[in-house]
Amino acid sequence: MLSDELKAEIQAAYTELLAQKGYKARYCQRLMIADIARTVGGVELDEDGRVSSEHRICVVEAGTGTGKTVAYAIAALPIARALGKRLVIATATIALQEQIVNLDLPDIRKHAGLDFSYVLAKGRRRYLCLSRLDLAMQEIGSLNQTLSLYDDERFDPEESHRIIYQNMMESLGRGDWDGDRDSWPEAIENAPWFRVSTDHVQCTGRQCSHYENCFFYKARERVHKVDCIVTNHDLVLADLMMGGGAVLPAPEDTIYIFDEGHHLPEKAGNHFSSFIGLRASQGWLAQIPATLLQISAEMEEIGALPQAQDQFERAVDDTILALGEMVIVLEPLQEAASHDDGSWQYRFPLGQVEQAITQLSVEMLQRFHRLLGLVEDLVSALTERMEASDGSDRERCEYWVPVISAMAARIEAGGALWRSYSRPDDNRKPPVARWLVFREASNTEGTEIQLNACPISVSETLAELLWSRAYAAVITSATLSVAGDFRRYREKAGIAAENLFDALPSPFNFHEQAELIIPTMVSDPRDAEAHTLELSRMLPEILKGDAGSLVLFTSWRQMLAVVDDIDPVFAVNVLAQGTLSKAEIVSQHKQRIDAGGVSCIFGLASFAEGIDLPGAYCSHVVIAKIPFAVPNDPVGATLSEWIEAAGGNSFEEVMIPDAALKLVQACGRLLRTESDQGRITITDKRLVQQRYGARLLQALPAFRRG
């Protein structure tokens, strides 16, 4: 039960913030504060201090203008401090993270009378690794490419890289830089940065000679000393996959806030997926014997080397040979694959692979497991020697431990894919989507074949790793329900129905502020060519008189075709996705409007959320088509098959709710403040001609109809 003292503290903080900022209380914001305070403050513990309450998750749909950050911070911070728990605020985008850390939390601390500390938590890859910087400087001008074991990590010692590294060394020497990629004065490309950063697999932790000065570990110390940690969904999920408490506080001691929470299930799916490229794997496996010979030359006897060199080589050769056999088995499936954008895709119906592939996958798993055992033994031997050594011998160990650890991680990742392909799914649970991608191989002869596996549902995994362990959690976003119905999100995220689900009223007067138009059209959007031609002719007229506008497409193909076909006079005002970075497009768009000009952004799904174009920057949003899932999405297609096989209707249960959420998200680009006005035009006649159109329209805010 929420104590009277905590209620009073929360109410006082909110009142003080409003008074200091000159704001009026928003009804929806007050409701959100109350929902969160009741849920998080009402968690019950048993006599051993363990959570016994099942109702400790709060799912709140709150639209633009609610002031979500203020609501969850004001409600959760006092409770977290009183309970001795940490508040972890996780977002899906960097932009929102920066807003929370640089604007929202400082403002709340200053004006709400709340005393709390906070920090932005990032993964290792965002920090410079001093050990790898040393190695990079040593290797400049040398031909030693051992650390670049894989094509995607290949290090080219360019002059520009040498200059960057030298500048880094000088800046560190002056104390001008904290090793954070985001605080370097200029943008750093991935190629030079990845060479001097690391991940948890290659990091040697306390055994590293630079440990005392390590930027990542210094940052992690701060994480465990503050009241509030701001991070992203990916770091939370990565931490959970490592057991929880590895980088962030343990889930049992954490109150989570998942902002932009509609992304969480998809993010989780990406973390629990696996893939392997057959020819690429043959390439990096073939480099292992030479790497081991070099270790033996430098370290003499280490682990089973050099005596076990032949054993390693046989294991590698057997694995490469088996990969070649898999290529032969899979190549014929390209004939049945669908072709799109330079690659071919073949999906296994219901994720069920043929017996011959399953059998060979079992053998592949055995070979990868055998090789992994040999490599892990070598990692252990190197680590033990590093702990017992000093001087040059220790330096050699520090050099090789990350190399062999990365090798082990790559083998282990491949093993995860083969494990998925070698065992049948449990018929009582949702299957795993499995598919192949065929594309022209780079630097090798023939076609590269990539095998992929991804669960069609992460609900059980999230329930086990996150919801069952968290002290409490809040999930919020502008789009979590379909007209107040949270069933689809509950199923995707694995949250029990007994928890609190609330769709808050919007602070906007949609009927007064915006008009929804569905123009009369000849073409059906399912006839892509005809619809594109008609849309190209219509857009200049539809957008006449609008200074700032946004046109959202569901496919690259249609957007690029419209760019080519549209009236050249109108085209000069268009900023199309792909021509510049997203941030630069938004920046140039605003500059044009500020200068009294006209500007129209053409974008895809990434422009349907996460961009803020208030007032004149966007007075008209055009949505080209209902955003149904793309037909070549293997995960969505497998999910639909599974639902149909169980007697359900995937179109009704999945496609319509998902499209409704995306449609609401796209419409949300129009009204960003309570004073905004504008129009939304949807050029898809299915909304008025198909039976499901009424359901989609019902999910939208109450815009007046034009």
- Give helix then strand counts, H and E, for the chain: 28, 19
DSSP structural state of residue 596: T
Residues in a beta bridge with 436: 346, 451
Asked if 71 and 29 count as a contact pair (C-beta separation under 8 A), the reply is yes
Q: Note whether 52 and 144 are same-domain residues.
A: no
Q: Note whether 291 and 247 are same-domain residues.
A: no
Q: Note whether 237 and 292 are same-domain residues.
A: no
Residue 49, classified by CB atoms within 10 Å of its CB into exposed (0-12), middle (13-18) or buried (19+), is exposed
Question: From residue 99, how far is each of 24, 25, 83, 102, 436 by CA, in Å?
Answer: 22, 22, 27, 5, 40
Q: Note whether 111 and 128 are same-domain residues.
A: no
Q: Note whether 658 and 534 are same-domain residues.
A: yes
Q: Residue 596 is part of a domain; what is its CATH number?
A: 3.40.50.300
Q: Which two tokens mark 76?
A: 């959760």
Q: Note whether 264 and 164 are same-domain residues.
A: no
Say how many domains are in the chain: 4
Q: Note whether 615 and 700 are same-domain residues.
A: yes
Q: Which two tokens mark 294?
A: 């070099």
d(CA 202, CA 402): 4
Q: Is the pLDDT of residue 150 over 70?
A: no
Q: Note whether 16 and 84 are same-domain residues.
A: yes
Residue in the structure block whose two tokens are 């017996």 = 355
Buried b (16+ CB within 10 A) or exposed e, 288-322: bbebbeebbeebeebbebbebeeebeebbeebbeb
pLDDT at 146: 45
Contacts of 706 (CB under 8 A, 6+ apart): 515, 516, 517, 679
Where is the domain boundary, 419, 453, 487?
A: 453
Q: Is the pLDDT of residue 155 over 60?
A: no
Provide the pLDDT confidence category of residue 95 given band limits of 50, 70 and 90.
confident
Asked if 72 and 112 count as a contact pair (C-beta separation under 8 A), the reply is no
Q: Is the pLDDT of residue 408 over 60?
A: yes
Q: Note whether 38 and 10 are same-domain residues.
A: yes
d(CA 108, CA 106): 6
Helices (H), 595-655: 634-645, 650
d(CA 121, CA 693): 43
Domain enclosing residue 395, as ranges: 274-453
- What is the full DSSP assignment across 632-648? T-HHHHHHHHHHHHTT-
User: What phi and psi values does residue 344 have, to the nearest 5 degrees?
Assistant: -120, 140
Q: What is the mean pLDDT of the chain?
A: 92
Contacts of 106 (CB under 8 A, 6+ apart): none
Q: Note whether 240 and 304 are same-domain residues.
A: no
> Taking residues 513-534, what's their average pLDDT?
96
pLDDT digit string (tens) for 314-330? 999 999 999 999 999 99
Count of residues making up the chain = 706
Report which of 555, 649, 627, 638 is spatially closest to residue 273, judged by C-alpha positions: 638
Asked if 260 and 96 count as a contact pair (C-beta separation under 8 A), the reply is yes
Q: Note whether 490 and 449 are same-domain residues.
A: no
Buried b (16+ CB within 10 A) or exposed e, 221-257: eebeeebbbbbbbbbbbbbbeeebeebbbebebbbbb
Where is the domain boundary, 503, 521, 537?
A: 503
Q: Note whether 434 and 481 are same-domain residues.
A: no
> Taking residues 441-470, what's their average pLDDT?
90
pLDDT digit string (tens) for 1-22? 688 999 999 999 999 999 999 9
Provide the pLDDT confidence category of residue 428 given band limits of 50, 70 and 90.
confident
Where is the domain boundary, 453, 488, 520?
A: 453
Q: Is the pLDDT of residue 364 over 70?
A: yes
Q: What is the pTM of this model?
A: 0.91
